[in-house]
Amino acid sequence: MRIAFIRPNLRETRSTDAMEPLCFAILKSLTPRGVDTVLYDERLEPIPLDEPTDLAALTVETFTARRAYQIADGFRRRGVPVVMGGYQPTFLPDECLEHADAVVQGDAEGVWPQVVEDAAAGRLRRIYRQEEFPPMGGRLPDRSVFAGKRYAPLTLVQYGRGCRFNCDFCSIRAFYGSSVRQRPIEEVVAELRGQAGSHVFFVDDNLFVDVAKATALFEALVPLRIRWSCQTSIDVARDRGLVRLMARSGCTTALVGFESLDSENLRQMRKGWNLKWAPYESSIRVFQDAGVMLYGTFVFGYDRDTSESFDRAANFALRNRFFLANFNPLTPTPRAPLLDRLRREGRLLFDRWWLDPAYRYGQATFRPRGMTADELTEGCWRARQRFFSYRSIARRLVAPRTNVRSAHRAAIFLSANLISRREISAKQGSPLGEPVVSAAGVGCA
């Protein structure tokens, strides 16, 4: 039996910032012996629909849903059964089943071997799901599935799943509920020992679960002498010693969701805790004093935002010499509280923007209260252009405690900023689900 793992792209052209799709290394490790597997990542290569395969397995995110459905339809027209997993099939199984033979809802551990067995026997069930979350330990991802592919020079590692918080715009709580699970630390360490020389990115939605668990993880990382990055909530900064330990264990960059500079907006998005312990500037100093470069994210479109909010956020990010920053239009995704609220209020511009051929990447998807939809789209783009201008990159580089702390840091800073500048420009305004011609010369649309 042969399984083709498929990672769809959201647009026609190839990406230069693609990272390893860790989910397929996990699936590879769960696949029974004797089953042949191959990965096609459309961010790097065309999808060869005509190559012999017995099952196509797609991971589907909201932004890649339209393209994923096109690819799935192409496989099914050739008689190849399709199974989908990820956020979109978990939240909208009926939508996905219009294009797939089966969907996996939630985590794949515990059900994937059954999917493979059923596919081999020609008896795929429509829906596979588990009533309880499976334990995360006991198996290391099989990265052999990435062999020969040119991904960004990062090794993706997962310590835990879930998040303590339930922000208005986020779907993580809908996927994992209130469950927050971690792998055994010794298993994480064993995985990292096999990745010597790599820069590690912890893909956890929030690496900071609590002080005790974060301390144990960071202490275990110190002897490995690795460099790593993560996503974390800003409340980790209330413990200066913990952030210093975080840096000593090898953390060079951290993504922090600042989201808004307006406290009322933060309360509306259920993220008022962002300012509970200290003003932003105080928390930023804790990170930067420890030598951690910050990637700040901001979202616009909440009720207190106006056309002036974009420049205010851009000024803030420039003043604090952030390593990277993103300025996003608030975008409602399936099962997030935001989507239901905007639908009730009659403010959506698209019923399902992720399937609408008129939608363009970076475009406003609803009518904000403090500006027009066009102003929301243009304001985010203006902030991105300003932050990633060559002048801005040069000025932000000169931050001795962080961005030019070493030649290695400076190289990371320049590479990440130039790639981000290029990718942001390429994606802005592009339609989702552009048809791509396969290696066999067959269109996927």
Say if 278 falls within a structural domain.
yes
Q: Find, among 16, 24, 28, the residue nearest to 58 by Cα.
A: 24
Q: 26-30, 62-66, 335-339: lowest mean pLDDT where?
A: 335-339
Q: What is the pLDDT of residue 75?
A: 98
Q: Which of 26, 63, 73 is nearest to 43 (CA)?
A: 63
For 436-442, which contacts have Cβ atoms below 8 Å and span 24 or more sequence positions? 436/9, 436/12, 436/42, 436/46, 436/47, 437/46, 438/46, 438/47, 438/48, 438/49, 438/50, 438/74, 439/45, 439/46, 439/47, 439/48, 439/51, 440/48, 440/49, 440/50, 440/51, 442/49, 442/50, 442/74
Spatial separation of the C-alpha atoms in residues 51 and 57, rounded to whole Å: 14
Q: Are residues 118 and 188 in the same domain?
A: no
In a domain, 211, yes or no: yes
- Secondary structure letter of residue 93 according to DSSP: H
Q: Is the sign of the CA dihedral 91, 297, 201, 247 positive or negative?
A: negative
Q: Which residue has the tokens 């020609």?
A: 122
Q: Whole-prediction pTM value? A: 0.94
Q: Which amino acid is at 58?
A: L
Domain residue limits at 264: 153-405
Nearest residue to 59 (alpha-carbon basis) of 95, 96, 86: 86
Residue 182 lies in a domain: yes
pLDDT at 445 over 50: no
Is 300 part of any domain? yes
Sequence-distant (≥ 6) Cβ neighbours of residue 423 within 8 angstroms? 15, 16, 17
Whether the per-residue pLDDT at 418 is higher than 60: the answer is yes
Is there a single domain that holds both residue 170 and residue 77?
Answer: no
Query: What's the confidence (pLDDT) of residue 443?
Result: 44
Pair (111, 194) in one structural domain = no
Banded pLDDT at 435 (limits 50, 70, 90): low
Inform me whether the pLDDT recorded for 416 exceeds 70: yes
Task: Identify the CA nearest to 264 among candidates 276, 272, 256, 252.
Answer: 272
Q: What is the pLDDT of residue 276?
A: 87
* Separation CA 278–CA 387 (nearest Å): 25
99 and 161 housed in the same domain: no
In terms of C-beta distances under 8 Å and separation of at least 24 residues, what long-range contacts does 259-262 make, across chains too? 259/297, 259/298, 259/299, 260/298, 260/299, 260/300, 260/302, 260/304, 260/305, 260/309, 260/313, 261/309, 261/312, 261/313, 261/316, 262/302, 262/304, 262/305, 262/309
The verdict on 238 and 318 lying in the same domain is yes
Given pLDDT bands bounded at 50, 70 and 90, which one contains residue 69?
A: very high
Q: What is the DSSP letter of 35?
A: -
Q: Number of helices (H) and strands (E), helices first, in the chain? A: 16, 14
Neighbours of 2 (CB within 10 A): 12
Mean predicted confidence (pLDDT) in 202-208: 95
421 within domain boundaries:
no
pLDDT tens, 141-192?
Answer: 999 999 999 999 999 999 999 998 889 998 888 888 878 899 999 999 999 9
More confident call, 61 vs 136: 61
- Asked if 65 and 124 sit in the same domain, the reply is yes
Domain final residue pick, 113, 129, 145: 129
Q: What pLDDT digit, counting tens, does each position of 82-105 carry? A: 999 999 999 999 999 999 999 999
| Angle formed by the axes of helices 211-221 and 185-193, nearest 10° | 30
- Kindly report the CATH number assigned to the domain that includes residue 80: 3.40.50.280
Average of pLDDT values for 326-350? 96
Helix (H, G, I), strand (E, B) or coil at 330: coil
Phi, psi angles (nearest 5°) of residue 181? -120, 150
Q: Which two tokens stand for residue 204?
A: 């956890």
* β-strand partners of 293: 253
Whether 56 and 195 map to the same domain: the answer is: no
Residue 131: the pLDDT is 82
* Token code pair at residue 269: 């998005």
Average pLDDT over residues 427-445: 63
Amino acid of residue 4 = A
Tell me if 135 is assigned to some domain. no
| CATH number of residue 368's parent domain | 3.80.30.20
Q: Final residue of a domain: which of 96, 129, 162? A: 129
The predicted pLDDT at position 440 comes to 43
Q: Verify that 323 and 384 share a domain, yes or no.
A: yes
Lowest mean pLDDT among 77-81, 197-201, 344-348: 197-201
Residue 437 inside a domain? The answer is no
Confidence of residue 379 (pLDDT cuts 50, 70, 90): very high
State yes or no: pLDDT of 330 exceeds 50. Answer: yes
Q: Both 299 and 196 in a single domain?
A: yes
Write the pLDDT tens digit of every residue in 348-372. 999 999 999 999 999 999 999 999 9
pLDDT digits (tens, 9 = 90+) for 258-272: 999 999 999 999 999
Q: Which amino acid appears at position 68 of this protein?
A: A
When divided into structural domains, the chain yields a total of 2
Q: Are residues 186 and 113 in the same domain?
A: no
- Residue 58 inside a domain? The answer is yes
Q: What is the percent of the chain with per-residue pLDDT over 70, rounded to a whole number?
A: 97
How does the average pLDDT of the chain come out, rounded? 94
Q: What is the dihedral of CA 210, 213, 219, 224, to 10 degrees?
A: -110
* Rounded average pLDDT over 424-436: 85
Look at residues 372, 388, 405 and tell me which one is the last residue of a structural domain.
405
Between residues 176 and 388, the one the model is more confident about: 388
Q: Are residues 125 and 158 in the same domain?
A: no
Whether residue 159 sits in one domain with residue 123: no
Helical (H) or strand (E) element with 45: none
